[in-house]
C-alpha cells in the first residue's frame, strides 16, 4: 500500500475520534490542554495498537472478529452516548451536567476501544497488502492524535453556546457514530460521518 493510501486510511480511521472528541469537549466545559492531549494520545495509541494487533492476527481471526466487532462498538457508544444525553436532560445546572468523565478511566477506555475497532480490520488489510506495519501504525496513531486534538479545539468553541443542549448533542453524536458503525457492518452502507 502506498504512503498516500496509508495517510488516507489514517484520516478515515480518525473520523470517529474527531467526532467523539467534539462530543466530549461539548459536554466538558473548558477542557484543559493536558486533558485534550491525554485523550487524543489515548485515541492515537489505541488506533495504532489495534492496527498492529489486526496486522499480526492475520486472516484466521478475521472471520471471528468481524461477526461481532460492530456490535461491541455500537454497544459501547450507545451506552456512553445515551448516558450523556440522560445526564444532560436531568441536569439542573451546568455544574451537574456531566457525571460520566470520558477523559479518563473506564469512560476513556470505552470510547478509545469503540473508536478503534475499525483499525483492527484495517490492520488485517495492511497484512494482506504487505504494508510496513511500523510506518502505517505510526501514521495512523499520529493522524488520530492530531485530528482528535482538533476535534477538542472545535468542541471547546461550540460548548460555550449552551451547555445543556450541547451535552445532548454530544451524547447523540456518540450514539450516531455507533449506529453508523452498525449500519456499515450489518447493512453494508457506506456512511460518511
Task: Break the chain into its structural domains and give their ranges.
Answer: 3-186
Where residue 78 falls (left for φ over 0; alpha for ψ -120 to 50; beta otherwise) is alpha
User: How confident is the model at residue 192, as a pLDDT?
Assistant: 52
Judged against a pLDDT cut of 70, whether residue 190 lies above it is answered with no
Residue 86, pLDDT above cutoff 80: no
- The average pLDDT across 31-56 equals 92
The whole-angstrom separation of Cα 14 and Cα 86 is 27
Tell the residue number behind the cell numbers 451506552, with chain if given: 79
Residue 172 contacts residue 86 (beta carbons within 8 Å): no
DSSP-derived 3-state class of residue 20: helix
| Contact yes or no for 115/16 (Cβ under 8 A) | yes
- pLDDT score at 125: 76
Dist CA 173 CA 179 (whole Å): 10
Task: Say whether pLDDT at 96 is over 50.
Answer: no
Q: How many CA atoms lie within 13 A of 45 on its CB side?
A: 10
Burial class, 13, CB count within 10 angstroms (exposed 0-12 / middle 13-18 / buried 19+): buried
At residue 97, the pLDDT reads: 40
Give the Cβ contact number of residue 113 at 10 Å.
Answer: 15
- Tally the residues of the chain: 193
Residue among 122, 115, 117 nearest 1 (CA): 122
pLDDT of the residue at 119: 85
**Cα distances (angstroms) measured from residue 98 to each of 18, 23, 27, 108, 154:** 20, 12, 6, 14, 19
Residue 166 predicted with pLDDT over 60: no
77 near 129, Cβ under 8 Å?
no
Amino acid at each position: 500500500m502506498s504512503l498516500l493510501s496509508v495517510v488516507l486510511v489514517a484520516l478515515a480511521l480518525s473520523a470517529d475520534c474527531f467526532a467523539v472528541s467534539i462530543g466530549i469537549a461539548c459536554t466538558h466545559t473548558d477542557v484543559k490542554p493536558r486533558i485534550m492531549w491525554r485523550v487524543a494520545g489515548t485515541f492515537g495509541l489505541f488506533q495504532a495498537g489495534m492496527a498492529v494487533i489486526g496486522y499480526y492476527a492475520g486472516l484466521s481471526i478475521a472471520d471471528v472478529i468481524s461477526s461481532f466487532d460492530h456490535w461491541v462498538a455500537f454497544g459501547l457508544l450507545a451506552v456512553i452516548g445515551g448516558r450523556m444525553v440522560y445526564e444532560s436532560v436531568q441536569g439542573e445546572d451546568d455544574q451537574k451536567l456531566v457525571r460520566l468523565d470520558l477523559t479518563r478511566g473506564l469512560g476513556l477506555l470505552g470510547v478509545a476501544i469503540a473508536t478503534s475497532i475499525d483499525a483492527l480490520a484495517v490492520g488485517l488489510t495492511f497484512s494482506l497488502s504487505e504494508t510496513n506495519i511500523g510506518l502505517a501504525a505510526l501514521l495512523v496513531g499520529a493522524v488520530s492524535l492530531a485530528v482528535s486534538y482538533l476535534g477538542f479545539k472545535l468542541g471547546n468553541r461550540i460548548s460555550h453556546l449552551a451547555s445543556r443542549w450541547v451535552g445532548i448533542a454530544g451524547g447523540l453524536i456518540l450514539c450516531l457514530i455507533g449506529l453508523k458503525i452498525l449500519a456499515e457492518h450489518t447493512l453494508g452502507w457506506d456512511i460518511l460521518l
